[in-house]
Amino acid sequence: MKEKIDINNWIRKDHFKFFSAFEEPFFGVTVEVDCTATYEEAKENNVSFFLLYLHKSLLAVNQVEPFSYRIIDGEVWKYNTVNAAATINRPNGTFGFGYMDFYEDFEEFKTEANKEIEKVQATTGLIPASSGENVIHYSALPWLNFTSLSHARNYSYQDSCPKISFGKVREENGRKIMPVSIHVNHALMDGYNVGQFVEAYQDLLNEKEVKAYI
């Protein structure tokens, strides 16, 4: 489900028109998050650390409204739910694209996401997911402790999906620290909104809801 934003009466009207004229309207930041509690939670409950931190990022994304805005044929639409279009790594070093629906309950999300992971890993090629516009483009680079990141872009395509990438977890003073890159379309949101996401994500990473994952 989605609803159209009335641009003429939108508080971001001027911002939207200004940045929509850019050849590259995306801006990006790289931050570090403390994922100690979530890492321990995954180990304690024998669940995928990747799926757990991915799910918590989707929980945060769905709390910050501008992450649900998309530009379609020059109009702005707001989706009720945002899902994941994620790169799935294979043992042979390649990857494929997978589509994962968002569920508030982690157990339900994990079950469906594992089906998608198994499907992608059992095949070859990219397998572009028919995911629509209401997704976050996710990628994981667990081999790299990056401090910045750029993305391949097709400038002839009007892209407005946010892109979030996760890096290598490192140990620092007994804590688990992970770099996270966030790229968003400036016509739809500002640094303030990215900050809202990072704050919400860190709060969720700090929480250990063991009962939900038994």
Tokens (6 digits) for 184: 């968003």
Strand ranges (E), the chain: 2-4, 26-34, 69-72, 75-79, 83-89, 95-100, 135-140, 163-166, 170-172, 175-185
DSSP H or E run through 140: strand 135-140
**Within-domain flag for 213:** no
24-52 pLDDT, tens per residue? Answer: 999 999 999 999 999 999 999 999 999 99
Residue, of 212 and 181, whose pLDDT is higher: 181
**Residue 78 falls inside a structural domain:** yes
Hey, which residues are catalytic here? 186
86, pLDDT greater than 50: yes
What share of the chain in percent tops pLDDT 90? 86
Is residue 214 one of the residues assigned to a domain? Answer: no
Residue 92 sits in a domain whose CATH number is 3.30.559.10
State pTM to two decimals: 0.93
* Residue 61 pLDDT exceeds 90: yes
What CA–CA distance (Å, rounded) separates 91 from 117?
A: 12
124 lies in some domain: yes
> Which DSSP letter does residue 51 get?
H
pLDDT at 127: 76
Of 70, 18, 33, 40, the closest CA to residue 172 belongs to: 33
Q: Is residue 31 part of a domain?
A: no
Backbone angles phi, psi at 22, to 5 degrees: -75, 145
In this structure, is residue 109 part of a structural domain? yes
User: Which pLDDT belongs to residue 131?
Assistant: 64
62 in a structural domain: yes
- For the segment 123-179, what is each residue's pLDDT rounded down to a tens digit? 888 876 666 789 999 999 999 999 999 998 887 778 899 999 999 999 999 999 999
- Max distance between CA atoms of the chain, in angstroms, equals 51
Range of the domain at 147: 2-26+37-206
Q: With H, G, I as helix, E, B as strand and everything else as coil, classify residue 52.
A: helix
Q: Is the pLDDT of residue 212 over 90?
A: no
What residues pair up with 210 in beta bridges, in sequence order?
Answer: none
> What's the number of domains the chain is made of?
1
Q: Which of the pair, 157 or 9, is modelled with greater confidence? A: 9
Q: Does the residue 212 lie in any domain?
A: no
Distance CA 22, CA 32 (A): 29
The whole-angstrom separation of Cα 61 and Cα 47 is 22
